Amino acid sequence: MTYESDIIIIGAGVVGLAIAAKVASKNRKVYVLEKNETFGQEISSRNSEVIHAGIYYPPNSLKAKMCVTGNRILYELCEKYGIGHRRLGKLIVATSDKETRALQTLWERGRKNGAESLKLLSKPEMRKLEPNISGIAAIFSPSTGIIDSHALMQCFIARAMEQGAQIAYQSKVIGIEKLTNEYKITVEDRTGKFSFVTRLLINCAGLHSDKVAELAGIDIVRAGYKLHYCKGEYFSVGSGKGSMVKRLIYPVPPPKLTGVGIHITLDLEGRMRLGPSAYYVDSLDYAIGNQHKSFFYNSVKRLLPFIGYDDLEPEMTGIRPKLQEPGGDVKDFVIREESDKSLPGFFNLIGIESPGLTASPAIADYVGSLVKL
């Protein structure tokens, strides 16, 4: 059986769904194909749910631009559609003179990126906001917040379906063949194989997006699309200590920025969580134990002296789809249409790690502006 379509989106994570909501329209046949039983089972449900301000990323990078724009759009969407969120604000806290100098550089970068209303705080100013933390100076980012990412994805789904888009779950894309002016997409579900013919194809396959690009015949090593998995663990903080801080608390990040350092987030119920760590792994294994508990405890006790070792419990893990090799330089998102690889109408979104949740509506606007039918 072969179905006709105008646009196929591979992957029902926050990025694919945001794009579906953007490109769906009554006069287009749009399908989202998802290999899992439902939406958002991979990176989009294993993250910190932070609406980032856009401080860390290299100026003019897609990460910086889309994070700053996405931040603004996300708050608008939250207000308009009643999506759970809180604009808590965040502190990036320096604990040494060296870190205070790094804080200044970060503040300048954040301002260059357009991150909203950043302030450098002295120790007394910082302590006034958060009396229970240690540190000697901080950046205050008032536009950082938290969001119910599940509700955000449900909102994108509702908007896409309202415009006639369809989502096929348990439908894994296993083949991509370029025809003269279209693509033939082979899909496998529980009952067997079937196919779509589509004019445009948008690869939002997250941790598998390099493999999907490869299905279309792209040499992913040559193109610089090969992904490296970087695992992040989270520990929850019990003993009612969630109320000891009111904002998200971050350390000054390490120089090569594999992650942004073990930080302290709060969820919408006020529960405190530490993480994520960042280390490269070879496979998609989400297991977590107590092996890294001491590392977590030592990382945060200099910021949160009230935390005890026994307050920490392993909670969950997520895995980042990194273009950055172990020990290598930071890489930007890849978001491109592949005409120059003789694949016009094929869009690749690869390496959409943090701040991909924040950036998702801005990514959707950008991809939407490239879609010509």
Ligand X SMILES: Cc1cc2nc3c(=O)[nH]c(=O)nc-3n(C[C@H](O)[C@H](O)[C@H](O)COP(=O)(O)OP(=O)(O)OC[C@H]3O[C@@H](n4cnc5c(N)ncnc54)[C@H](O)[C@@H]3O)c2cc1C
Residue 318 in contact with ligand X, rule: CB under 6 A: yes
Q: CA separation (Å) from 297 to 102, 271, 312?
A: 23, 17, 8
Residue given tokens 């509700």 in the structure block? 151
Dihedral angle, C-alpha 146, 49, 7, 82, nearest 10 °: -30
45: closest CA among 319, 289, 324, 280?
Answer: 319
Give the C-alpha separation, 272 to 267, whole Å. Answer: 7
- Considering the complex, state which of residue 43 and residue 165 has its C-beta at the smaller distance from ligand X: 43
**Site membership for ligand X, residue 13 (CB under 6 A):** yes
Q: For residue 10, state whether it binds ligand X (rule: CB under 6 A).
A: yes
**Nearer of residues 103 and 350 to ligand X, judged by Cβ:** 350
Instruction: State yes or no: residue 155 binds ligand X (CB under 6 A).
Output: no
Rounded to the nearest whole angstrom, what is the least distance from the CB of residue 206 to ligand X in the complex?
A: 3
DSSP annotation of 27: T
Told to check if 173 binds ligand X by CB under 6 A, we report yes
Which one among 356, 361, 364, 367 touches ligand X, defined by CB under 6 A? 356
Longest dimension (CA), the chain: 68
Three-state SS annotation for 248-265: EEEECCCCCCCCCCCEEE
Q: What are the residues facing 312 on neighbouring strands?
A: 237
With respect to ligand X, which residue has the nearer C-beta, 137 or 343? 343
Q: Which residue among 160, 307, 354, 367 contacts ligand X (CB under 6 A)?
A: 354
Rg (alpha carbons) of the chain, rounded to whole number: 21
**Which part of the chain contacts ligand X (CB under 6 A), choosing from 93-101, 131-139, 203-211, 292-300?**
203-211
Residues 6+ apart with CB under 8 A from 300: 262, 264, 274, 307
For ligand X, which stretch binds (CB under 6 A), given 113-121, 189-197, 308-316, 347-355? 347-355
User: Which CB atom, from 35 or from 109, has the smaller least distance to ligand X?
Assistant: 35
Amino acid at 298: N
Q: How far is the CB of 299 from ligand X (least distance, A)?
A: 15
C-beta of 244 vs 334, nearer to ligand X: 334
Q: Which is nearer to ligand X, 134 or 154 (CB)?
A: 154
Question: In 3D, which of 299, 270, 250, 262 has the Cα closest to residue 144?
Answer: 250
Tell me which stretch binds ligand X (CB under 6 A): 128-136, 280-288, 297-305, 317-325. 317-325
Site string for ligand X, 32-61 (x = CB under 6 A): -xxxx---xxxxx-xxxxx-x---------
Q: How far apart are CA 324 and CA 118, in angstroms?
A: 28
229: β partners: 281, 321
Of 95-103, 126-134, 136-144, 355-363, the window that binds ligand X (rule: CB under 6 A) is 355-363
Nearer to ligand X, 137 or 201 (CB): 201
Contact 351, 333 (CB under 8 A): yes
Q: Is 198 in the site for ligand X (CB under 6 A)?
A: no
CA 296 to chain CA centroid, Å, is 22
Told to check if 337 binds ligand X by CB under 6 A, we report no
Query: Which positions lie near ligand X, rule CB under 6 A?
Result: 10-16, 33-36, 40-44, 46-50, 52, 172-173, 204-208, 212, 232, 276, 318-320, 352-358
